[in-house]
Structure 1
Amino acid sequence: MKGTPDTADGSRTGPSPASGARAAPRRPALARSLERWGAFARRRLRAGELGSLPVVVVLAIVWITFQSLDDSFLSPRNLSNLSVDIVGTGMIAVGIVFVLLLGELDLSVGSVSGLAAAVFAVLNVNNGVPEWLAVIVAVLAGTAAGAVQGYSFARTRVPAFVVTLAGLLTWNGLMLYVLGSSGTINLDANGLVAALTGYYFTQDAVAYAVAALAVALVFLVPYQDMRRRVAARMPHRSLRFVVARAAGLAVVAFAAAFVLNRFQGLPLALLIFLVVVAGLDTVLRRTRYGRQVYALGGGVEAARRASLGVTRVQTAVLAVSGTMAAIGGLFLASRITSVSQSSGTGVLLLNALAAAVIGGTSLFGGRGSTWSAVLGMLVIQSIASGMAITDTPAAVQFMITGGVLFAAVVIDALSRRSQEAYGRA
């Protein structure tokens, strides 16, 4: 729209008023755009709308630190392994994001992931059920576990962390019962589940094609939204903003494709993970169900008075969490090609919760996205990988991860306080 100036956030408003006076000399367009974006960023920071900035800064510090200690940290081999290692726990963290958006916690995800892996192993290995059918039954077991917990939470109004704490014990006991006296079941190293984390697209063109498709979607979706808003004469992002964001993603995506191709190519696990994250992000941001989830995170009573199906949404959210926990459990089993009595235990639950919170999902509900789990998981797994390469004791890893988690919680609390002061919370 000619003659319509951009606002600070890259959006456009109505036509500029006509002026009879001679216009003052204008600075270059790039300088004006940088100044507007800088002012917009400062206003967002003062208002507590930090977005993914803190976790990106932390990730950069972690990578620079470990690369300075050992130059193999950013090698194609290590980064490729890192991209696969984040998937299992990352899937679980994505489900936790849904629960956190309600302002609740799901403490049962580790046990549900172990139960799903055990169900698959017993059906496929011990009873000869085809892998594809055993996978479906295992995932449905996770969905059922989450739905039971969600319905109990919604109907009794007992806090979700209490209901899921009981679920943690129940599903872990059921997993031990399903495994029986054998304790450990080895999976087929050449089977479908093993291929989830063991298969790589070795052709260079595949990684670059996926990168190009991602950039195209990141440009086209906001561009179409911008055009609809222009037609409706509503505030909208400028074309420069949309192009700049797509260009930034293009740099990251093609650099990642280049690095992965220098080792074994694009991992199937990473591709599935990104597709799932993008799909669930679309569900949250562009569907009625997603808007209801955010609405419940803003206030359950207000949602009830607005006639939202609170019980249905809460049950569905815990079912999503259980489903993602089951999928994550299968990826974790695929990584080690076995299921044992320790599956789903240890620090798995803590890492999944920490990933969602470190990535920027608020503990107070109503703010966050599925991409938060990806960023948070990158931080946690990068710390673990760096510690392994530098032979640092595991105790130090726990302390560093705990410190990052504490910092994330403090930033979240301060951010919410700033938003309340600006009337945005």
Structure 2
Amino acid sequence: MIRLPDENGVLRAYEPRAEPADAVLRPPSASPPVSRTVFAAAHVVADPLADPNSGRAALDWDATLAFRRHLWSHGLCVAEAMDTAQRGAGLEWAVAAELTERSAAEARAVGGRIACGVGTDQLPLAGPDLATVRGAYEEQLEVVEKTGAQAIVMASRVLAATARGPEDYLDVYGELLRQAAEPVVLHWLGPMFDPALEGYWGSTDLDAATGTFLRIIEEHPGKVDGVKVSLLDAGRETALRRRLPDGVRCYTGDDFNYPELVAGDGEFYSHALLGVFDPLAPLAAEAVRLLDAGDRDGFRAVLDPTVPLSRHLFRVPTRFYKTGVVLLAWLAGHQDHFVMVGGMQSARSLPHLARAYELADALGLFADPGLAEARMRRLLDVHGVAQ
């Protein structure tokens, strides 16, 4: 029995599971799913002994790369240097570039698939003109393509601050797509994940923004492998994927509605590129293999119960979801500490973290429930919560 604080600070008893879920116990299969392409956006493991005032994010490279091998061992693809990896939230471009190079080399060594974020975060937010924004994108695209990884063109805070309207987005993205050696994934990240992206694609009207987004894709045939949509709006995503040109995938980034979007409506479906699949890797892999076998009900039976945990991790302020993701990695034994780049482990309250533990444990997500409980007790003790 463990006593956990609720959102009102009241302690209540919780009885942890004794055994993990079958999918967590089962030896992983590195064979990738065939019915859907499934990316997990991976977090980074900070170096807990580094000086946070050094001006450069310090990572525990061994633990960071080991976690990517864990994802590949389940047959998942890795989305690298994305917002889950604290891109734009403590992980600056110089370290993201090194992360991209190291992870891509690891992918080649184990035969895993990887795609890496291309952005403009080497620039200051204010001041650059459009040519400078294009140059920043081009610099990062070159780094990613040299590693052999697929490029994910991320939304740019600097472009959002600089662009005067849709034509500026058409210009910047059009030039970048013309230069891309291989088809890229375009990432539409909503303001709930990053308030600085309000009005992306040149309008706060989502219908108008969608029109610009589709125009970019349509004007550059063969250059876009797919789009990652992170708007937390299932209806808008299902409407968008019906309008995509043939051969362009929709990768859901909707951490609220992913089971129904990936399962599809009988005619259209989404692939996945999700931050929540970082902690859910064993269950996500199990579910999609059921879908491979034509068992749609089995797929939903595995993934639907994970939604309350995901919605909890991604509750507002949504951008702090990384804190819960890293907590679960620590509780699951994938890293030895609960320290994040930039001190982001403090971004969520203790009751929020306690609820994340409870929901994950109830799913049987921890291969060693005893270790997870012991570590949760240590966290509670540090916060003065007596057991």
TM over 0.5: no
- With normalisation by structure 2, the TM-score equals 0.29
Q: Which has the larger radius of gyration?
A: 1
Higher strand share: 2
Higher helix share: 1
- With normalisation by structure 1, the TM-score equals 0.27
More RCO (CA 8 Å, sep 6+): 1
